Amino acid sequence: MAIEVCVKAAVGAPDVLGDCPFSQRVLLTLEEKNLPYKMHLINVSDKPKWFLDVNPEGKVPVMKSEDKWVPDSDVIVGIIEEKHPEPSLKTPPELASVGSKIFGSFVTFLKSKDANDGSEKALLDELKALDDHLKAHGPYVAGEKVTAVDLSLAPKLHHLEVALGHFKNWSVPESLSNVRNYMKALFSRESFEKTKAAKEYVIAGWAPKVNA
């Protein structure tokens, strides 16, 4: 039986997969494990009644597990790993938080209107830490194999690349070659190609926050 998941539909295109990195993380996990799934695209600005009935908080992603809809990508990915342990995507616990501050730093820098507020440096520091880690342990966070931490980072790094490229004409510096190679490797995976949001939808998703 296919697993049911609700994910964000694209802004202005309710029939197209949207730009939620947490939704993509769940889809990546299902793809990497070769699990059949049924995807419900949810228009987050006009949520269907059935969706709010089963998921009153209205957040995506949610996954149906034993007749209950479960929110939170961390929890969902944990359930998938537990029920379908092969192929394993488990990240060694000591590596689970590698790169975990990159997304927050990216959002702060993206929204920043002041070039001297330190937000760019904060992001560069986080990316440099990831680069150093990959240099020592790569090509992926836990070595040769993709694990859950990579599938969490991949959509966030995609957002970082697209949104900062568009709104700030900024890209990951050449000097951080390990991060750049890591992004290339993740973005070229079949699972990523199948589950990524198109650039224009990533941009449309961030525009209101940037212009706020």
The per-residue pLDDT for range 88-101, each reduced to its tens digit, is 999 999 999 999 99
User: What is the CATH number for 29?
Assistant: 3.40.30.10
Please report the pLDDT score of residue 67 as a whole number.
87
Q: Which residues are catalytic?
A: 20
- Has residue 190 been placed in a domain? yes
Please report the pLDDT score of residue 36 as a whole number.
96
- Has residue 68 been placed in a domain? yes
Same domain flag for 132 and 165: yes
Residue where one domain finishes, among candidates 83, 103, 125: 83
Same domain flag for 17 and 102: no
pLDDT in tens, 106-116: 999 999 999 99
Residue where one domain finishes, among candidates 40, 59, 83: 83
Same domain flag for 107 and 162: yes
Please report the pLDDT score of residue 79 as a whole number.
97
Please report the pLDDT score of residue 66 as a whole number.
87
* Other residues' Cβ atoms within 10 Å of the Cβ of residue 102: 20
Same domain flag for 47 and 132: no
Please report the pLDDT score of residue 211 as a whole number.
85
Counted domains in the chain: 2
Please report the pLDDT score of residue 205 as a whole number.
94
| pLDDT tops 90 at residue 39 | yes
Same domain flag for 167 and 200: yes
Residue 55: which pLDDT band, with cuts at 50, 70 and 90? very high
Sign of the alpha-carbon dihedral angle for 131, 92, 59, 62: positive
pTM more than 0.85: yes
| pLDDT tops 80 at residue 1 | no
Same domain flag for 206 and 102: yes
Residue where one domain finishes, among candidates 83, 118, 148: 83
Instruction: Show the domain range for 64.
Output: 3-83
- Has residue 88 been placed in a domain? no
Task: Please state the three-class secondary structure of 47-77 as a single string.
Answer: CCHHHHHHCCCCCCCEEEECCEEEECHHHHH
Same domain flag for 162 and 112: yes
User: What is the CATH number for 110?
Assistant: 1.20.1050.10
Q: CA 22, CA 211: separation in Å to the nearest integer?
A: 23
Same domain flag for 108 and 153: yes
Same domain flag for 162 and 190: yes
Please report the pLDDT score of residue 167 as a whole number.
98
Please report the pLDDT score of residue 50 as a whole number.
96
CB 182 within 8 A of CB 139: yes
CA distances, 86 to each of 16, 74, 148 (Å):
30, 18, 13
Please report the pLDDT score of residue 212 as a whole number.
79
Same domain flag for 63 and 149: no
Same domain flag for 192 and 129: yes
pLDDT in tens, 143-201: 999 999 999 999 999 999 999 999 999 999 999 999 999 999 999 999 999 999 999 99
Same domain flag for 204 and 119: yes
Q: At what angle do helices 148-168 and 21-32 cross, to 10 degrees?
A: 140
